[in-house]
Amino acid sequence: MGLMDTLDQCIAAGHEMTKAIAVAQFNDDSPEARKITRRWRVGEAADLIGVSSQAIRDAEKAGRLPHPDMEMRGRVEQRVGYTIEQINHMRDVFGTRLRRPNESMPPVIGVAAHKGGVYKLLYQSIWLKISL
């Protein structure tokens, strides 16, 4: 067996291992199963967007933003929080969403590690997705 065959087998085994980890962690390997399902309270969302909580409430009252998702908790209807998609929509409305100009090159980030499989890049990419 040649070197290329050995490398192909290692790559295939790595893909299978990654898929098995995803299935074990998410019960599914589809992109939909990996979706961020967390919801942020209005104060947390305001910090991520770069505006005040009152600015979000005022924009909802004025109709610039859709009304928040609500649920009954006991006899009181309360906000359930905002999804990352809703937060990004708010960033678009308030003009605070960062965009890379089309003519610029994307940044390349490297992480030095002595041990693989500890999710350094996964956590970093999630943090960047939420923060930017």
State in Å, rounded, how far the first CA of the chain is from the last one: 47
Handedness of CA 47, 49, 50, 56 (dihedral sign): negative
pLDDT tens digits along 58-107: 999 999 999 889 999 899 999 999 999 999 999 999 999 988 888 988 88
Type of residue numbered 105: M
Q: Please check whether residue 23 lies inside any domain of the structure.
A: no
Judge whether 42 lies within some domain.
Answer: yes
> Does the residue 19 lie in any domain?
no
Whole-number Å distance between alpha carbons of 118 and 116: 6
What domain count does the chain have?
Answer: 1
**Statement: the pTM of the whole predicted model exceeds 0.75:** no
Question: Which of residues 127 and 54 earns the better pLDDT score?
Answer: 54
| Range with top average pLDDT, 16-20, 41-45, 109-113, 116-120 | 41-45
Cα separation, 93 vs 97, whole angstroms:
9
- CA-CA distance, 99 to 106, in Å (whole number)? 11
Please give the average per-residue pLDDT across 119-131, as a whole number. Answer: 81
**Residue 24 covered by a domain:** no
Residue 55 lies in a domain: yes
In a domain, 88, yes or no: yes
**Residue 63: domain span:** 37-100+109-132
Are 80 and 69 in contact by the 8 Å Cβ rule? The answer is: yes
